[in-house]
Chains A and B, each alone.
Chain A
C-alpha cells in the first residue's frame, strides 16, 4: 500500500515536472535572451517570424519585399561586423561607445537588420526593435527544421524528429513481427519441450543485453554491411536503426505472442486436429486467431520499446534531423535527440525547454501505446467468455 502510493506519487511528479518544463517552451521567444533584433525606424516591417529570421540570416531571403517591405536588399549585421563600420578608437577601449555606434549605424543604413546584445542598446536608440513571435504549437509540430542553436532565431520544428522516430520504429516492427511471430509459433507449437527449455531463457536473455551493446553491434556489423550492400557514402541510416531496434523488439514480441499461443486451450487444438486439420492449418486457423490479441499486444509493446529506445538508435542512425525520404537516409529520433543535446543546453533555456517538450511528445506516444495494449488485453479477456 505504502510502496504503491510512493510509486504512483513518483510517477505523477515526474510527469508533472516533464510537462511543466515542456509547456514552458510556448511562453518563450525563439530569440536568445539578452539579444535584440533591430531595423531602421523607416523600415515598414514590424514583425518577423522565426522562420523568416532564419532565412534572412541564411540569405535565402535577400530583399525586404519578401517579408512585406520595400524592394531593397537586406543588409545583414551581427556584432562582429562592427569593425567594418567603425574603428577601434570610435568604439572605445572597453566598448563604452558601442551603444551609440549601434544607434548611428542603424539610423544611417535604411536596409539594415542588426542582431546584437541588448546591453549595447543606447538610450537614444532610434530604430525599431523587431518583435519575434513566441514559439507556437504550429511552429513546433509542423516546423520542418530542428536547429535549436541557430542564431538569431532557434528553429524548433519537431516534425523531422517525430517522423524519424515513427519511421525507424515502423521499419523495426515490419522486420521484427514476421520473424518474432515465426519464432513464437515454432516455440509454442513445433519445438519439443527440451528445445523450448533452452530457447526460452536465451530469448529472454536477449532482452537483458544493455542497449549500448546492441548499438555497438549495429555500428560495427550492420552499418558497414548496409554501406557496402547499398553502396552508400555512409551506412548510418534509418534502415540500420530499424534492424537494431527490430532485434531489440524481438524478445518482447516472441515471449508475449508465445505465451498467448500457449494459452490456446488444448481442447481447441485437439478439436482442430481431430477434424483432420494439419498442424499448420491448426496454427493459422485456430491458434493464431485465438491468440491474436496477445500477438497484437506483443507487437505494440515491441513498437513501444522501439520508440523509446535511445542509445542504440543514437549510435546507428546518423542523427540528421531531416524529414526522411527513404530508409537509406540518416534519421534522428526523439530519444536520441534528447540524449545527445540535453547536456549542451543551459538549464531553463529555450533549447532545454524544447527538449522537455520533446519528452512530453514521447511520453504521450508511449502512453497511447500502453493504453492500446490495455484495451486490447481487456477485450481479449472479454472475448474468452
Chain B
C-alpha cells in the first residue's frame, strides 16, 4: 500500500487552475522530489498534503489526496491531527521568537503534553536527530534567533520531528542556506528516510538527484513525468523533462 496517493487532483486559486489532474503514489520511507520551474505548482501540490492551502481564501480542490488510505479532504477529517502526522519544513528557517528549547517543545505543548520530563527527553532526542545537540546543548534557554541560518533550519526540522509525524514535507529547505549547511541538511534527509516518508520541493536538480528516490517533474500545473530519480535524470521519457533537466528552460 502507498503512504501517499493523489488521484485526479485539480486545484484552483480563484478562477485560475494551478494543478491539473495530478496522479502520484508515494511509498513509505522514501524521499520524493518535486521539481519544476517557478510557478509550476510544485509547492502548491506539496501544501495539499498538510492542507496548508486551506489558509488561502477562495481555493477549490477536487480529486482525492489519501494518506495511509484515508482521504484527507474527506468529511470528519481533523486538520490539526492531520498536521501532527504530516510535519513541514519551510523555505526560510522560521523559528518562533522563543528559546531554542521552547521552539522544539512547542508542538508538544500545543498537543496538550504537560509532563516536563517527557518534554525534555523528546526535545533532546529531536535535536540529536538533526545533529544539532552538541552545538546548542549549552544554550537551550537562549533565543533561537542567535543560531546561524543553517542551525535554525535544522532546529525547525527538529521542531517538526518532535511531534513524531510519519510524513515530512520540505519546501525548498536549503534555498536560504550556504553550501555547508545545505550538505548537512541533505545528509540529514538521507538519514531521516529510515523513519519517515519525505516529500521535498527543490529548485536544485543536483539536490533532487542526490537525496531522492523518485522525482516528479511539474510544468505549468501538470505532472509531466514521475519516475525513479535515476531514470528521470538519465533517460527521461518526455522531451519537456529532457529540456528542463538539461537547462534549456526554467
**Residues in A lying within 8 Å of B, measured CB to CB:** 192-193, 265, 267-278, 281, 285-286, 289-290, 383-385
**Residues in B lying within 8 Å of A, measured CB to CB:** 50, 52, 55, 57, 80-81, 83-84, 87-88, 90, 92, 94-97, 106-107, 109-111, 145, 156, 159-160, 163
| A275 and B83 contacting across the interface, CB-CB below 8 Å | yes
Which chain B residues lie closer than 8 Å to A272 at the CB level?
Answer: 96, 106, 110
A-B CB contact pairs (8 Å), 6 listed: A267-B90, A268-B97, A273-B55, A275-B106, A275-B159, A277-B107
Which chain B residues lie closer than 8 Å to A193 at the CB level?
Answer: 57
| A276 and B111 contacting across the interface, CB-CB below 8 Å | yes
* Other-chain residue from A271, A276, A290, A383 in contact with B80 (beta carbon distance below 8 A): A276
| A275 and B90 contacting across the interface, CB-CB below 8 Å | no
* Other-chain residue from A274, A277, A278 in contact with B160 (beta carbon distance below 8 A): A274
| A285 and B110 contacting across the interface, CB-CB below 8 Å | yes
Which chain A residues lie closer than 8 Å to B88 at the CB level?
Answer: 270, 274
Which chain B residues lie closer than 8 Å to A276 at the CB level?
Answer: 80-81, 83-84, 107, 110-111, 163
CB distance from A267 to the nearest CB of B (A): 4
CB distance from A287 to the nearest CB of B (A): 11
CB distance from B167 to the nearest CB of A (A): 12
- Measured CB to CB, the nearest residue on chain A to B106 is A275
Knowing A275-B159, A278-B80 are in contact, say whether A270-B90 is a contact too (CB < 8 A).
Answer: yes
- Measured CB to CB, the nearest residue on chain B to A286 is B96
CB distance from A329 to the nearest CB of B (A): 44
Interface of A, helix, strand, loop or mixed by DSSP: helix
* Other-chain residue from A192, A274, A290, A383 in contact with B87 (beta carbon distance below 8 A): A274
* Other-chain residue from B57, B92, B97, B107 in contact with A275 (beta carbon distance below 8 A): B107
- Measured CB to CB, the nearest residue on chain A to B51 is A273
CA distance A161 to B80 in the complex (A): 53
* Other-chain residue from B97, B109, B156, B159 in contact with A383 (beta carbon distance below 8 A): B97
Which chain A residues lie closer than 8 Å to B55 at the CB level?
Answer: 269-270, 273
CB distance from A285 to the nearest CB of B (A): 7
- List the 9 shortest-distance A-B pairs measured between CB atoms, nearest first: A276-B84, A275-B107, A267-B94, A277-B110, A274-B88, A276-B83, A281-B110, A271-B94, A276-B80
Which chain A residues lie closer than 8 Å to B57 at the CB level?
Answer: 192-193
CA distance A270 to B163 in the complex (A): 16
CA distance A212 to B156 in the complex (A): 54
CB distance from B108 to the nearest CB of A (A): 9
Knowing A275-B87, A276-B80, A276-B84 are in contact, say whether A270-B94 is a contact too (CB < 8 A).
Answer: yes
| B50 and A274 contacting across the interface, CB-CB below 8 Å | yes
CA distance A271 to B159 in the complex (A): 9
Which chain A residues lie closer than 8 Å to B90 at the CB level?
Answer: 267, 270-271, 274
- Measured CB to CB, the nearest residue on chain A to B54 is A273
- Measured CB to CB, the nearest residue on chain B to A194 is B57
CB distance from A315 to the nearest CB of B (A): 43
CA distance A190 to B106 in the complex (A): 22
CA distance A270 to B160 in the complex (A): 12
Which chain A residues lie closer than 8 Å to B94 at the CB level?
Answer: 265, 267-268, 270-271
CA distance A269 to B91 in the complex (A): 14
